């Protein structure tokens, strides 16, 4: 054990009194049963005591930072720090613990009328929705929200604007793998990161919207809000300070890890164990940072939300936006059909007879229900997988922020948490982006093909699924089909199933307008096709 350094000696050899914890702060902790945070005070150095006091004094469990980036350059506008006090933290802990074990309404399959399936969609509908979406983008009514806010940050500099990428890292031992997966590239011929690919898709769809509505390219802007966390704050600051064109707007973040009786777990004698509060913290952050007001002032009405770890994501998809507007709903989600009953994905369900649509995680779905088949359609009864591709109205986001804050119920995940006693079993509290759906008066689901829009990157190469290599092949195969459909030809020196071509998003958003580039030409795979 370290020597207690709180006792000092004055010049005359008299022992100086031991400093005590700040009484107002200690009394406040006692009010909520968290005074054990100061249990090892006497063993701390002066610097460690200072650190502990600051850690508790400025506790910011929802510490969310957004980089608000218009794809045409924006300057820095404002920085807002969101801080919640101990009473709010205490309420979250108590409400979340109390909710465990309470009976919930039985789940039912999503009604067929709530889903636009691929086979039922007509070409006329697709074209109409595409045009509606491009019009909304051209009119400045669409914003994009990138969800992440984990513990690992990647900063890229693409074209004429700065970008920051956050990666949710639940296990520190996988940090290096996640960095390679997202921050460098996934092995595509271009060497581009996922983040750069997404940025270029936004640039492309802006150009398409300008052309379709006879606007100047510079007049069409999609505002891009990018979420980071305190774990990435310092690197974010340094990056943005080193470049001259960007806008920072708010903050997400962390919440204490607690024992099963609701007490803070101490990671060290002078630091409370914390974890990211889940991407659902975005709603409160948007509200308290006044970004919802900012969106309203810009004329934004529709927000496209997505997760960063999808190599085939169609950011600001005009067809999805048009469908959403046409249906007039408050919330919508792209879904893919579950590949097999035991696939580890959450699925959309109806909670109770006539109740709202919501998402049930795979671990919460009884195996018999997961395997049940709808005899009329031949599909699994619970088949619509949530892949974190959502659309909300601005009005609904305001409603959700208020509702989630009022209810204060978080998901509790039992985890091994680093503590002063080694790894101990405790609880992490999280909200998720899909927690919004039960608040929606109307929700619509939009089926997309897995091979066209879902290539997750969640694991390092060498894992059995969802790796950079598997995502790379899905991209190459899709783009190869685009090129062949546009009249192009391929040569290859390795089997075609293991290679292909990459089409730059600056050339084509979803396979359109490739004939002038590809017809009659031969491309040797692997390669990137650009202008």
CA trace torsion 138, 140, 142, 144 (10° rounding): 100
Proportion of the chain in helix, strand, coil states, percent, rounded to 5: 35, 25, 40
Does 3.50.50.60 match the CATH number of domain 61-149+184-453? no
The CA distance from 103 to 94, in Å, is 17
Hey, do 61-149+184-453 and 468-530 end up sharing a CATH topology, with the first three levels equal? no
Which residue, among 9, 41, 6, has the nearest Cα to 23 in the 3D structure? 41
Q: 128 falls in which pLDDT band (50, 70, 90)? A: very high
pLDDT value, residue 27: 86
pLDDT value, residue 284: 76
| In the predicted structure, residue 161 carries a pLDDT above the cut 70 | no
For residues 12 and 33, which has the higher predicted lDDT (pLDDT)?
33
pLDDT tens per residue across span 425-464: 998 888 788 888 989 999 999 999 999 999 998 888 888 8
Cα–chain center distance at 380: 27
Please compute the mean of the pLDDT values over residues 355-367 and round it to a whole number.
Answer: 87
Question: 499: helix, coil or strand?
Answer: coil
Strands 254-256 and 274-276: antiparallel
Residues 6+ apart with CB under 8 A from 200: 158, 159, 192, 504, 505, 506
Question: 50: helix, coil or strand?
Answer: helix
Q: 89 falls in which pLDDT band (50, 70, 90)? A: confident
DSSP 34: -
Cα–chain center distance at 296: 22
Question: CB of 182 within 8 A of CB of 154?
Answer: yes
User: What residue segments make up the domains of the chain, in order of their start?
Assistant: 18-60, 61-149+184-453, 152-183, 468-530
DSSP 25: H
pLDDT value, residue 247: 29
Instruction: Give the range among 6-10, 242-246, 278-282 with minimum mean pLDDT.
Output: 242-246
Please compute the mean of the pLDDT values over residues 315-328 and round it to a whole number.
Answer: 97
Tokens of 370: 């997961």
| In the predicted structure, residue 353 carries a pLDDT above the cut 90 | no
How far, CA to CA in Å, does 71 sit from each of 17, 84, 153, 198, 411? 59, 32, 20, 11, 35
pLDDT value, residue 113: 85
Question: 184: helix, coil or strand?
Answer: helix
- Topology classification of domain 468-530: Seminal Fluid Protein  PDC-109 (Domain B) (2.10.10)
For residues 64 and 215, which has the higher predicted lDDT (pLDDT)?
215
Instruction: Give the range among 29-33, 218-222, 226-230 with minimum mean pLDDT.
Output: 226-230
For residues 320 and 413, which has the higher predicted lDDT (pLDDT)?
320
Mean pLDDT of the chain: 79
pLDDT value, residue 58: 58
| In the predicted structure, residue 19 carries a pLDDT above the cut 80 | no
Question: 312: helix, coil or strand?
Answer: coil
Question: CB of 72 within 8 A of CB of 218?
Answer: yes
Question: CB of 262 within 8 A of CB of 93?
Answer: yes
The CA distance from 353 to 526, in Å, is 52
pLDDT tens per residue across span 6-18: 344 344 444 445 5
Please compute the mean of the pLDDT values over residues 226-241 and round it to a whole number.
Answer: 51
Question: 168: helix, coil or strand?
Answer: coil
pLDDT value, residue 170: 33
pLDDT value, residue 246: 31
* 197 φ/ψ sector (left φ>0, alpha ψ -120 to 50, else beta): alpha
Q: What percent of the chain has pLDDT over 90?
A: 42
Q: What percent of the chain has pLDDT over 70?
A: 78
């Amino acid at each position: 054990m370290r020597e207690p350094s709180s006792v000092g000696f004055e010049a005359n050899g008299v022992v100086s009194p031991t400093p005590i914890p700040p009484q107002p702060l200690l009394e406040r902790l006692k009010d909520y049963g968290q005074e054990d945070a100061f249990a090892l005070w006497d063993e701390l150095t002066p610097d460690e005591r200072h650190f502990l006091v600051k850690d508790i004094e400025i506790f910011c469990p929802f510490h969310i930072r957004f980089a608000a980036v218009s794809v045409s350059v924006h300057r820095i506008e404002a920085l807002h720090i969101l801080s919640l006090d101990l009473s709010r933290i205490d309420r979250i802990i108590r409400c979340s613990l109390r909710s465990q074990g309470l009976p919930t309404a039985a789940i039912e399959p999503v009604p067929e009328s709530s889903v636009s399936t691929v086979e039922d969609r007509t070409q006329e509908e697709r074209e109409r929705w595409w045009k509606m979406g491009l019009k909304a983008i051209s009119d400045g009514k669409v914003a994009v929200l990138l969800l992440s806010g984990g513990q690992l940050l990647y900063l890229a500099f693409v074209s004429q604007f700065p970008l920051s990428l956050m990666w949710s890292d639940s296990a520190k031992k996988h940090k290096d793998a996640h960095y390679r997966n997202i921050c460098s590239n996934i092995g595509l011929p271009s060497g581009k990161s996922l983040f750069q690919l997404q940025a270029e898709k936004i640039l492309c769809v802006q150009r398409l919207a300008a052309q379709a509505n006879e606007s100047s390219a510079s007049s069409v802007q999609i505002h891009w809000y990018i979420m980071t966390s305190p774990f990435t704050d310092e690197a974010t600051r340094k990056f943005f300070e080193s470049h001259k064109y960007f806008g920072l707007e708010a903050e997400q973040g962390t919440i204490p890890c607690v024992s099963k009786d609701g007490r803070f777990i101490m990671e060290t004698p002078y630091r409370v164990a914390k974890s990211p509060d889940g991407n659902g913290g975005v709603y409160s952050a948007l509200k308290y940072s006044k970004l919802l007001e900012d969106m309203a002032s810009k004329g934004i009405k529709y927000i496209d939300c997505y997760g960063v770890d999808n190599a085939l994501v169609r950011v600001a998809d005009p067809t999805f936006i048009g469908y959403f507007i046409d249906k007039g709903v408050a919330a919508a989600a792209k879904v893919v059909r579950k590949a097999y009953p035991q696939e580890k994905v959450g699925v959309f369900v109806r909670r109770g007879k006539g109740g709202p649509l919501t998402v049930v995680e795979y671990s919460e779905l009884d195996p018999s229900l997961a395997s049940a088949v709808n005899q009329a359609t031949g599909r699994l009864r619970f088949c619509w997988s949530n892949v974190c591709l959502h659309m909300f109205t601005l009005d609904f986001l305001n409603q959700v922020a208020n509702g989630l804050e009022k209810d204060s119920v978080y998901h509790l995940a039992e985890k091994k948490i680093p503590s002063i006693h080694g790894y101990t079993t405790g609880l992490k509290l999280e909200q998720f982006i899909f927690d919004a759906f039960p608040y929606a008066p109307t929700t619509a689901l939009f089926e997309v093909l897995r091979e066209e829009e879902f290539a997750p990157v969640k694991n390092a190469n060498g894992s059995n699924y969802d790796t950079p290599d598997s995502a790379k092949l899905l991209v190459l195969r899709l783009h190869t089909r685009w090129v062949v459909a546009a009249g192009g030809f391929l040569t290859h020196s390795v089997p075609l199933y293991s290679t292909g071509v990459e089409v730059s998003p600056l050339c084509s958003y979803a396979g359109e307008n490739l004939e002038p580039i590809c017809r009659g030409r031969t491309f040797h795979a692997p390669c990137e096709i650009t202008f």
